[in-house]
Every structure is written in structure tokens, then in C-alpha cells.
Chains A and B, each alone.
Chain A
Amino acid sequence: MSHSLQSDYKAKTTTGRIAHYVDQRVGVSGIVKEFGRKIFPDHWSFMFGEVALYSLVILILSGTFLTFFFNPTMVSVTYDGSYVPMKGVDMSGAYASALDISFDVRGGLLMRQIHHWAALMFMMAMTVHMLRVFFTGAFRRPRELNWVVGATLMIVGILAGFTGYSLPDDVLSGNGLRIIDGIFKSIPLIGTYISLFFFGGEFPGSAIISRLYSLHIMVIPAILLLLVAIHMFMVVIHKHTQYPGPGRTENNVVGFPVGPVYAAKAGGFFFIVFGIIALLSATFTINALWNYGPYDPSPVQAGTQPDWYVGFGDGALRLWPGVWPFPWEFEFLGGTWVLSVLLPFALMAGSVIMAMVFWPWIERWVTKDNRVHNVLDRPRNAPFRTGVGVAGIIGYATLMIAASSDLIATHFHVSLNDVAYALRASFLVGPLIGFYITQRICLALQRKDRELVLHGIETGNVVQLPHGEFIEVHKPVDEYRRYALVDFESPAPLPAQPNKKGKVNPIEKIRAGLSKIWFEDRVVAVTPAELEAAHHDHHSDNAVEGSVSASLEK
């Protein structure tokens, strides 16, 4: 035993010698063997997860820089920095240090800008990434748990952004906290206590900035990193999904090896993302907090906007009516129910989040499809799901637009009330219309695909046949392209199944009903037999297909 631990191996190349040295001590050869040539599929839509990851890295780098200069205290100081309009003003140490970072630390402003732009980019990339996963069905078995991890990341990301936005203690951030205070207070039974505990007494108190600081720079980043680690770990275990196409099956991965191509592209891409964020930071100022002044409960600025990723919450708060058609705040069971604040969150934001988190199981329950899926759906080949996704986007976008309802009203010279009515209506019916139209578009695209397979590509060349008829030359798609167009399933509705006792229970009846709606309208892939028939058709009426078309082409 001890003998075999002594290795006399002498590497010939320098790389070999370094590798051997490290390997003997930490055993990396296994890792290199496992990952060095691991295959990753390549597609532009797989890029957004990467952008999110890189933005997080940039957030941590820039945020760490900020911690060296930021002073998370609410102790009042008299400002004495070089920003003239605030000289001699009493403000919290936090706001004073945010001004110092902006004016008296060289490059501090740039770092604040990078940090904030990276935060916007992080949330944006996560959102688009999630949509990609949804629309392609990448959340299906075995990846359901990773979908949940991703959804959690999204929520924790919102918390990270909100706690960060609140740190500088300017008028906007304080006002945001005040709204949070109001939301806490609407929680039945314990809301007032949550508020008092959170602020260490009445709003704003003198504790909240340092509490948010521990959350923002320690607790939340730790949770984010842990979740990201789990997320990546699962990606490696499952191996990446791939789009359907020739040579791509449920049992293989087609793509590029990590070393060198994939790693080079992904690594290079990190610098590109960093470059984009730096460019934005150099040219567009966001959160010019010196203009707002230190937090003061009295003044407000109309038309101020929260960061976009909390916009949906703000929009939900705006849309819910307070006293129409009856007061949504009332006494019941010994307490005050503040439903006009509670419901937008519990119902509108909450149910959307819940539906999102549990979607993989909802879909599986209806479709009874519990198979492993490593090949993605093209969105058009899952018309119902794609429709639901678009409905969700429309609902979310309506809430986000509602967060700017005042700007819309002033910009288009319409009354605020009318904007609110229109948005309420759009929140209720917009998703339904969006669903319907999207589903129709998907079905139309599927038919177009069939057309393409059956009759080829229109070349735009019109030729006259010997007997005088004009026809357009169609060029058949090659077998590779054809396979990408026909490699999908189009399940029929699954009628209610009796259980073991031979009975159909009511829940199963609901499921069957949903399944009917889900799959009723469907377009199936072209089969070889159909293609054969189509060819015959065309040859008999002298249509130009296949070999005929080849001869007609110059």
C-alpha cells in the first residue's frame, strides 16, 4: 500500500511537471479529466445565465470596494465635504459617506455607478434567463429543483437590490423604506410588531441603515452565493439541455468542449459584460443621490422611479383600489385588515411568484409527462405553455408600467384616473388576449414548419411549365434542416384516467379538462409518409419538387 503511494513519475513538459506537482498534493487530475473536455451546447439564448453570473461577480467586486469607504451609520453629522449645496447640512453619516464616495474618493463615483448598473444588469439577465428556461421547457424533469433554486435567486436578488438602494439614506431610499414600513403594517396580527422590530422602534429610527447593511453585504450575498453554487452544481450534474436538431438526442450532448473553446468564449464573455457595465457607468449617471438630499420625512419628489425590478410591486400597490367599490380597510375579528395594501402583495405579486415556482409541477400534473427531458422545446411547439408565458409577461409588464402611471398621465395629457382604469383593465384581460394570440401564432408557425417540410422553401423563381402554367420553384429542405423541423411531439389531450378502484375522481376530471384545453388545438409533425404523399401530389400535377426543382435551378 505505502509503496504505491510513492510515485517516481517524471513529467517531460513544464506543464506536465506543474500539473504533477499540484496533482500529487490536491489530486486535480480527476477534476481536469471530468471537466477539461466536458461538452457544453452552444446557443445565443444560453448566454443570459452567464450574464447574470458575471454581473454578480462584478457586484461583489465593486461592492467590496464601496464597503471600504461607506459608513453605515445614522448618527447625524454636519456635512463638510466638497459638494457645495450640502455644506453645513445635518445628515446621517451614511449619506455623508455616500457623498464622499461620489466626490472625494477618486473613482468612487465610477464604482458606485458600476455597482448600480451591475445590479440592474444582474436582475435583467436573471429575468431573461428565466424566461428562456420557461419558454423552452428546460425546467422539466430532472431540472425542476434547479428551477426552484433559480426562482429563489430571483427573489433574493430583489431583496439584495432593495437593501442596497436603501443604504445611502437619501430622500428616495428613505421613502422606499417608508413604503416598506406601510407594507409590513398591513400584515394581519403581527405586522405592527414586524415594523417595530425591523426599524428598532418607530420609522425611521436610528438602527435601520446598519441592519440593512449587514443584510446587504453579508447575509444576502452569502445566500446568493450559496444558491448560485447549488445552481451551477446541478447544471453540471444534469448536463446542459440542447435544442432539437440532427444528431441531438435525449441521451447525448452536442457542443463544444470546455477546454479550450467553451472556456475561452465564456471567459471572454465575462470581460465583455464588464465592458458593457463600465461603458454604461462612464456615460449614464444613475442614482445621482447628491440631488436628492438626506432623508427627511417631509419633502417628496413627484415622478421619482424605483429601480425597475421592484416596479411590479409598486405598480400592484397603485392599481388596487382603496375604497372602491367598498372600503378595503375594515375591522374584523378584533383587528384592522388593510387589504388594499395586503392583497396587491399577497394576491397579485404572491400568486404570480407561487405559480412561477410551482409551474413544473402544475405542467406535469396536467400533461402527466414525467419523462426526463434533455432536448428543449422550440417555443412554438409548446403553444399552450408559450401562451401562458406571454400572459405572465403581459401581467408583469402591466404592473411595471403602472409604476409609472403618473409619468404616463403627464406625458400623454390624460387623467391619472383614466390611466389607472386602463391599466386595471389591461391587467385583467391583457394576459388572456396575449395568451390567445400567442397560442394562435405558435400554431401558425407550426403549420408554416409543416409547409416548409412538405413543400420546401419558396425560392422566388417563377418558371413557366411546358403547358403554360406558371409556378414558383420550391427547393426542398435538406434532411438536417428537416429533422430539426419534425423532431417534436404533439401530444393529444389525455382523457380522465380511472384510479386503481376504477373510479374517476373529481380532481382527475379537472385535470382532464385542463388537458383538453391545453392540447386541443395542435399541429403534429410531418411524418415520412406524409412527405411521400405530398411529393406524389406534386409530381402528378407537375409541381416542382425534389429532383425536378434541382434540374430547374441554375
Chain B
Amino acid sequence: MGNHSDGVKAHTSAVVTSQEASQERFPDPGLPPHAPRLTDVDSKKAKGAERQVVLLFVISILGSLLFWVGYFGIEVSGNFYDVMNPEPNKMLRLQNLLMGLGVAFAMFGIGIGIVHWARSLMPDHEMVEERHAVTSEEDRAEAQEIMETIIEETGIKRRPLLRNTLIGSVILAPLTFVTLFRDLGPADPSVLKYTMWDEGVRLVRDPSGTPIKAADVTLGSAYHVLPETLSTLTHENGYLEEKAKSVVLLMRLDPSELNVSEGREDWNVDGIIAYSKVCTHVGCPIALYEQRTHHLLCPCHQSTFDAANECEVVFGPAGHALPQLPIRVDSEGYLVSQSDFHEPVGPGYWERAKHVKEMAGEA
């Protein structure tokens, strides 16, 4: 059909601008005439709708009963997730299902019933209400005058000293309460520098706690490791906090594959290397070691570190390499640490660079 004029592009052809258009608008035809529903004209249909609503309410009542059947009628006793006896599990699931379905039907019955009632039996004439401005001009003027009178009566404008001391006191008083939050925590970031690793601390397997002989660590294997001294701590005196910092990954690579930088030559034992397991991105424990590529992968945001290359970041969002733990073999052949880490473990923080320098001095 030939010449359907397309929508007009403003800059290409002559168009009516919005101002002109307003003189040339279609008149508002007003609300369309009300179309009666079947239930409005046919009393049988109305009766039918009524019956449906009643049915829905009855369904709700049955739903509530179903809930109680689940709650009182299902006997759940014994231990759960017991491989020897799966029965209680089944009953627990069944109870949860019956109660949940009971609530669901109880609610659906009421809800759908009421909505159906409203839609089919209550008047559906659209009504019109006028809008009014949020406030009228007079109200605003009056309110403004009242406010001005109030301010005038306080005399605050005429007595500046009064006003200024008030402002000063009102600023200071709340600050006392802010001060109170000071004791939420200690304020010495230097706690972040140290872990439990120290001269001669044995590396033990996580979670069994057994020490590790250098010979146990075969080529390509990897161990999750903790300091032996961790077991002296309890939950009440810092077990989790220390554990969170001192988890270590132990791997053995072919010494020829290791790129060792100056000063770290004796930190490994024949290619056995130990690195902090705390991701330097935002602190997740690094879980995956891919033997073939020597890559360590953090499961949280996929930072990837190269174990052959002193755990430099090769991909992902981490900002610096994983700290290395210098290790050696003790007189009984077990792996032990030579010292603490030489830099703080975990994510970066404002004082980190300062701490790194201080720790280099201490070492």
C-alpha cells in the first residue's frame, strides 16, 4: 500500500512541534462507556461466581487443616541424615512439605477468593477524582509567615552570640556519642603483620594435624597446611583469627621449574614451596592447585597465581603475589618454617606498604 507516511524525523522533514501540536490535538473523548460484565447482567453467572468464591474460601480452610495434619499428624523423631536410618529424614521432608502446602493453600484460597470476588461481584465502574496541588499558594504563604513569626519571636537573628554558641554546642554534643564507638575494636593495624609462623614451627596437615616429612611431599602433590602451634589455641583465645591468617599451601615442583628471586634461594626444600593460602584479592582461601600448569586458583573471583613464578598474579583481580613462607627441614626430617612470612598475608590495606618495609627491617 504505497505511500504510508512514516514517522516524521524532526531534522529531516517539516514537523509539527509540540506547541503547534497542542493547538491541533485530538480532543479527549472522555472515559469509554462502561461495558457490563456477564455477572452484571446475568444473575445466574453472578451466583456462579459467588459459588466459586465460596469454594476458594473452603480450599483455604482445607489448607489450614492440611497444615495441622503435617504438624501433629506426622511423627518425626530420631536423628537426621543418619546413613543407617533414613526414615526420620523422609518424615521431616514430608512434614515440611505438608505444612508448606497447607500454608500455601490457606493463603491462595483467601487471596484468590477475595480477588475473584472483587473482580466479578464488586462494581467495576471506573471513577474519576480531581487532583489538587500538594499545597495551595495561600497555605504556603501562610506557613511561611508563621515560620517567620516563630523565628522572629525567638530573637535568634538579633542575638548572634546566642545563635553561635547554640550551633557550637549542638555540633559538639553528638560527637561525644560518636566517641563512644571507639571501643568497638582495637586500633592498631600492626596486628595484621604477624601470624603464628615462627622459627622452627612444624607444618602439619589440615585438618588431621600430622606433621609432614619432606619425603612425603611427592612431585606434583599439594597439601593444605597449618602451623603445629595452632592446636594450642581455643575458640576463646583466637583460634579462628590465627587460622584465618596462617593457612598455607604446600606444593612440590621440579626445582628446575622454579623461578627463584634473589634472597629467597633457601626458602624452598628441593622444590617444596609453601605459600599463604589467603587470597590477596579480598581474602578467600585459595583451594585449587592445577598441577600441570602450576597455577593456583581462588574460587571466589578466579584470581590465578603461578606457583612456579613465586605466586605472581597471572590473571584475575588480585593485586599482588601470595606471600611465601620460608621453610626448611628439622633434625627429625619434618618440614618447619624458618620464620614468619616476610610480608602481611591477605588483601591489601592502607598500611600494607609501610608494614612491608618495617618487616623487611625486622627480618
Residues of A within 8 A of B126 (CB): 247, 254-256
Q: Are the C-beta atoms of A196 and B287 separated by less than 8 Å?
A: no
Q: Is B271 located at the chain interface by the 8 A CB criterion?
A: no
B291 at the interface (CB under 8 A from A): no
Q: Are A282 and B104 in contact (CB-based, < 8 A)?
A: yes
Contact code string B327-363 (vs A, CB < 8 Å = 1, else 0): 0000000000000000000111111111000000000
Q: How many residues of A contact B (CB 8 A)?
A: 151
User: How far does the alpha carbon of A471 sit from the alpha carbon of B114 in the complex, in Å?
Assistant: 49
The answer to whether B122 and A261 touch across the interface, beta carbons within 8 angstroms, is yes
Binds B, one of A25-33, A64-72, A129-137, A199-207: A199-207
The segment out of A159-167, A320-328, A387-395, A499-507 that lies at the interface is A320-328
Which of B81, B235, B284, B320 is within 8 Å of A329, CB to CB? B320
CB-CB contacts of B97-118 with A at 8 A, as 1s and 0s?
1011101111110111111011
Closest-CB distance, B300 to chain A (whole angstroms): 7
Q: Report whether A338 and B127 are in contact in the complex, using a CB–CB cutoff of 8 Å.
A: no
Q: Which A residues touch B285, using CB under 8 A?
A: 297-300
Contact, CB under 8 Å: B282 / A103: no
Contact A252 B315 (CB under 8 A): no
Does A359 interact with chain B (Cβ within 8 Å)? no
Whether B30 pairs with A247 at a CB distance below 8 angstroms is yes
Interface pair A297/B244, CB less than 8 Å apart: yes
Scoring A residues 439 to 468 as 1 if CB is less than 8 Å from chain B, else 0, what string do you get? Answer: 000010011001100110000000000000
**Structural contact, A253 and B128, CB atoms closer than 8 A:** yes
**Contact of A525 (CB < 8 Å), options: B21, B95, B241, B320:** B21
A511 within 8 A of B: no
- Check A492 against B10 for contact (C-beta < 8 Å): yes
In the assembled complex, the Cα of A339 lies from the Cα of B7 at a distance in Å of 48
Q: Quick check: A454 and B123 within 8 Å, CB to CB?
A: no
Chain A stretch 288-327: residues in CB contact (< 8 A) with chain B: 290, 295-304, 314, 317-323, 327
Neighbour of A527 across the interface among B21, B119, B129, B188, CB < 8 A: B21
B interface size (C-beta, 8 A): 119
Answer yes or no: A386 CB below 8 A from chain B CBs. no
Does A200 lie within 8 Å of B127, measured CB to CB? no
B71 touches A106 (CB 8 A): yes
A405 & B100 in contact (Cβ 8 Å cutoff): no
> In the complex, how many angstroms separate the beta carbon of A236 from the nearest chain B beta carbon?
11
Check if A173 is an interface residue, CB within 8 A of chain B: no
- Interface contact A272-B112, CB-CB below 8 Å: yes
A338 neighbours in B (Cβ, 8 Å) = 319, 347-349
B175 at the interface (CB under 8 A from A): no
Of A270, A489, A521, A543, the residue contacting B9 (CB under 8 A) is A521
B173 to chain A, nearest CB (A): 22
Is A36 an interface residue when CB atoms closer than 8 A count as contact? Answer: no
B108 x A200 contact (CB < 8 A): no
Minimum CB–CB distance from A480 to chain B (whole Å) comes to 4
Contacting chain A: which of B178-186, B215-223, B254-262?
B178-186
Q: Which of B42-50, B72-80, B136-144, B145-153 contacts A (4 or more CB under 8 A)?
A: B72-80
Question: A178 within 8 Å of B by Cβ?
Answer: yes
Partner of A268, one of B5, B97, B115: B115
Q: Which chain B residues border A272 with CB–CB below 8 Å?
A: 107-108, 111-112, 115
| Residues A336 and B351 in contact, CB atoms below 8 Å apart | yes
Give the interface segment out of A3-11, A216-224, A273-281, A346-354. A273-281
- Residue B303 at the chain A interface, CB threshold 8 Å: yes
Q: Is the CB of A179 within 8 A of B3?
A: no
Q: Chain A's nearest CB lies how many Å from the CB of B76?
A: 7
Stretch at the interface among A13-21, A78-86, A119-127: A78-86
Question: Per a CB cutoff under 8 Å, which of A196, A290, A486 touches B25?
Answer: A486
Interface check B155, CB cutoff 8 A: no
Contact A327 B108 (CB under 8 A): no
Contact A246 to B32, CB < 8 A, known contacts A268-B115, A340-B317 = yes
- Contact among A179, A264, A278, A317 with B118 in the assembled complex (CB-CB below 8 Å): A264
Report if B281 contacts A (CB, 8 A). yes
* Inter-chain contact A39/B129, CB cutoff 8 Å: yes
Indicate if A523 sits at the interface (CB-CB under 8 A).
Answer: yes
* A202, A327, A527: the one within 8 Å of B320 (CB): A327
- Interface: B265 (CB within 8 A): no
Please pick, from A251, A271, A405, A483, the residue contacting B26 in the complex, using a CB distance under 8 A: A483
Does chain B have a CB within 8 A of A231?
no
Q: Which residues of B contact A (CB under 8 A)?
A: 1-11, 15-18, 21, 24-26, 28-32, 71, 76, 78-83, 88, 92, 95-97, 99-101, 103-108, 110-115, 117-119, 122-124, 126-131, 134, 181, 184-189, 191-192, 206-207, 224, 226, 234-236, 240-241, 243-245, 247, 277, 281-285, 287-288, 297, 299-304, 312-313, 315-320, 346-354
